[in-house]
Structure 1
Amino acid sequence: MSQAKKNDKQLKASISKRNSHSAAKMRRKAEDLSRIRNVLSKLSIRDQLRLEQNYRDIPKTCTSVWRTHEKHLDLRNIESKLSGNSLRTFLKAMWRDFHHVYFHSDRLQEELNILESAGIDSLPGVQYAEISCNGEQTKKYYPPQWPLHALPKLLRGLRRLKIHSPVHVCFIEQFPKLEYLTLYDEVNTIAMRAILDGGSRRLKHLHFLGKHTSHQLQGVSKCGSGLKDLVITVETFLSSWEEILLLPELLVLELRPNENIARTIEALSHVVRTSGQQIKSLQINCQLLDSPLSNCLGQLNLSKHCHHFGGLVLTQCRFDGMDIRALQLPPVHGYAVFCQCSDLKNYQLIDFIKSSCAKLREVILIKCPLLTQGLIDEIYKIRSSEHATTSPLIIKLDNCPNLWTYYEANFIDFWHRKQNVLRVEKMQRSFCPNENVQFLFRQRKKMQ
């Protein structure tokens, strides 16, 4: 073939290619115009004219709307609506304004690549990040770990982090402003040590909520001088309970029991004996203590060690006709909650109220079906005899129909005049009891 024919063939191929690109471009343009017509057709003529007159302001206005409604970045969700240049345009316009970001552990590298393709190497406004798990994890498969190393540089302003997948590499300690850390799955020893060895000095809230959370917390005081809120298993607590209870700023300690009730009682006893004077309130899900309640709570001897007891929450307790004084509960100075106590009887609650005397300000009763209308009359007699007219006892009810029906029926004729002594109300908000055992402490400085 002569050179002239070759050149002619190449020229035709080049023209054909240009024509093909041009045709594709025209198709995309036609599709874009069709979408615009679709949007415009939904507007009134007046609104269409406003757009036509102010078309130069449309890009700025779009960005303003996005900033109001699109503060959470979830790339899996966004990709179902945007792709290619449209996605990159959106990310470039919004990268400074995202407050929350959701990553997916099984495609984290892919999501980081999308940000990189849009020229984004930092999300300075993000303070909350969550890394979800794909739900398909098995013992033989773990999501890739290397993409996690890129997150501290990307999220320099991060304050809250939740991770639902395993962590086998060190990166959490590199977030300079991290205050809240919640881990739902296992963390290997090396990564745990990096967190504890002073790498996360700003941590205030540390929660281990997954199945694989029996960690060793020796050295927690290095990262936790400001630690205020700790959620851990009983076994994790017992591994370093002395150091944990010496944390100077600790206000909330939540223990997650296991099947070994003796170990749970051992852990609770350490808290009560060591920090009883600092305990402000206690919440217990009694269903976790699968033995006679008097044996479990009685061993703690709360009345001996806790002299500033402001609140008590007992959930799903079975009292089995016991003398409630066998629980050795201290006088409660503030509020008491009995939630889903299916066999709680009048005389037991009355004995409890008598033991707390006039210091008790509020009793909350939720789903306690055996309580009867006589309870309200008895409580009124007790409070009247204590001359507590300046501080009425408030009883709040939820799903205790016997008590509320009686009080409401007699309110105008009798109880209206007694509100300086006793007031009964319906719960206005739903109450969500703690599923574990939770201690609230007073600030140590106030106790000195």
Structure 2
Amino acid sequence: MSDLPVVVVGAGPVGLAAAAELRERDVDVVVFERGAHAGAAVAEWNHVRLFSRWAELIAPAARRLLAGTEWTAPAAEDYPTGREWARDYLVPLAAVLGDSVRFGTEVVGVARRGRDRVVDAGRDSEPLSVHLRRADGSEDRVLARAVIDASGTWGSPNPLGGEGLPALGERGTGAVTYRVPDLDSADESARYRGRHTVIAGSGHSALTAIVALAQLAQREPGTRLTWVLRRGSADATFGGGAADELPARGALGIRAKQAVEAGLLEVVTGFRTAAVESDSAGRLALVADDGRRIDDVDTVVALTGFRPESAWLSEVRLELDPVLQAPVRLAPLIDPNVHSCGTVYPHGVAELTHPEPGVYLVGMKSYGRAPTFLAMTGYEQVRSIAAALVGDHESAARVELSLPETGVCGGAGLFDDPAEAGAGGCCGPASEVLTPISSASGPRH
């Protein structure tokens, strides 16, 4: 099978990094991307500013590949928006990779050639069969020596409902959105101006929305905000502040905390949404399991995380943790009830290997439902896998990655009892000196 290509699914940051690593090692690689251009998912949150600097957002192999072109590296200390990340890095990288990246092509299934998942014989000797559907509706199949799934989780946001399933009535209303609002858009800003918005979630996307909407509330009288959390306290959601080794990430939490302390939004804790009701005027009411209600709601911004979509991998043998839906060897290292970004042990091909030879889940998808993924983690994952695919097992095993500490004690899991969460920061109180970054967050970057 060494004459067959490695197939990479997804032309996002980690997928293109995988292609750059493989190109550098003279491995034939093909990247299939459902969207029309590189970073198609990033383009859907292009207004959001990341809390990682350019220095952490460019994969080493990609930088070396681009260095031989007319590409100009962005300033290492700057914080790009999603739009800038795609325009100034992902699109040029895909261009350098050329015909190796195929757009408008969706991977709809992966199997072992001539075998479903039940058949044992030939799983080590037969290539992987990758089924494709193109934008024009045509179908195709290609054979591969390995498949690296870097398709991410952006297309599968978690629902508002507190049980992991949509709340009753959630699907039937168009007033629930699952994306950080772009308030620089006049049309989108009008949706929130002078109206009552509920923000649900406790991660960085939720904090980004809080900061942006709080600024709108300051400017626009009558704008009302309610922040809904499933956990018993908001204290642990603000992060490590000045103790965070990613300064913009720490500053984001501080700014969100300041918005709360300024009374710009009401905080409702321990609220697990069971139902979404609507009246004849189109206004909503959120109803919790315990009977509490939040009435007269115009819009709900549900930012409760993401989950992997693996139905198209149903015919290969994956070994996934039953809780996080992450590879079983990786799951204990990233459990959000225990770990923050900076406490995740560096990992590579050893933790990402499945019973199906040659199949790897990488990037955000490798983290399953865990919320602490950073782009630099994915870059190291694919470096290790590329090394293993060419037989450089010493390099594959030598995983060297120092992740920036969050300044948060323990994990970022849900806490019913606020006392269980501790103080929230383990390196002293958060400083009130803000890093001058506007809405400095991106989905898990």
TM-score exceeds 0.5? no
Q: Which has the higher contact order (CA 8 A, sep 6+)?
A: 2
Q: TM-score, normalised by structure 1?
A: 0.24
Higher Cα radius of gyration:
1
